[in-house]
Amino acid sequence: MTRHTLRDRNSHIIGYIDVDYDGRQTLKDRNYHILGYYDPVRDETQDRNYHVIARGNILTTLL
């Protein structure tokens, strides 16, 4: 698993994206609470309750 740290323009951490080996991504806020998921096979972004909210990867807009 790979973790990408997301920062604002003042270099404060605002969240993380964890990428699994199969390409699935999990968005977490700075307190490690899950905000959503992206499944590259189905090309869908899901909220924390696994409801599809968009086609494509829009994870960062959930922050």
Q: State pLDDT tens for residues 11-25.
A: 999 999 999 999 999
pTM summary value = 0.93
d(CA 59, CA 27): 6
- Structural domain boundaries in the chain: 2-62
Q: Give the contacts of 57 (CB within 8 A, at least 6 positions apart).
A: 25, 38, 40, 43, 45
Q: State pLDDT tens for residues 36-63.
A: 999 999 999 999 999 999 999 999 999 9
